[in-house]
Amino acid sequence: MKRFHVHVAVDNLQDSVRFYSKLFAASPAVIQPDYAKWMLDDPKVNFAISSRGERTGIDHLGFQVESTEELTGMKSQLEAADAALIEQTGAACCYSRSDKYWVQDPSGIAWETFHSLGVVPVYGEDNPKTLERSCCIPLAKAANDQTDTCCIPAGSNARSACCK
């Protein structure tokens, strides 16, 4: 079963944790100095906030699935919605390791569909080069470029909140 995912960039994490904890009548399932996540069952949503963005507001939306098979099943729907689908395997993001697909809607909002595989101790990749930008939303790579880059998938004029 899918769980809707919302990630919001906030100005003040502590104030936002207090607000959303009262709004949801639940404490976060995950809380870090720069990140918090609620895994709600009613409504079934993975709601995350972070203080890592350049601007506040919706960072990205998506679906969390429960299995590799369900993720594979979503791939054709995502490809039908956006030809620029980006696949990440074993990505470290938001204190989790996940396999995921990214697409972008016509307005430039990034959509992440992912299956979580486990937890990791850092927000982004455990790599000094990527730790300083700690980006979860990749930019499509140039055909000859094998380096990870930051931002939402190619074709958008909007920049992800994680981009510097």
Residues 64-121: pLDDT tens digits?
Answer: 999 999 999 999 889 888 778 999 999 988 888 999 999 988 778 889 999 999 988 8
Amino acid at the residue 36: A
Contact 116, 145 (CB under 8 A): no
Closest to 51 measured CA to CA, from 136, 161, 164, 131: 161
Would you say the C-alpha torsion 56, 77, 138, 112 has a positive or negative sign?
Answer: positive
Top-ranked range on mean pLDDT: pick from 88-92, 124-128, 159-163:
88-92
Q: Which CATH class is domain 1-164?
A: alpha beta
Contact 49, 36 (CB under 8 A): yes
Q: Is the pLDDT of residue 32 over 80?
A: yes
> What is the pTM assigned to this prediction?
0.70
Model pLDDT, residue 86: 93
Domain definitions of the chain by residue range:
1-164
C-alpha 116/C-alpha 114 separation (Å) is 6
- Reported as a pLDDT band with limits 50, 70 and 90, residue 159 is very low
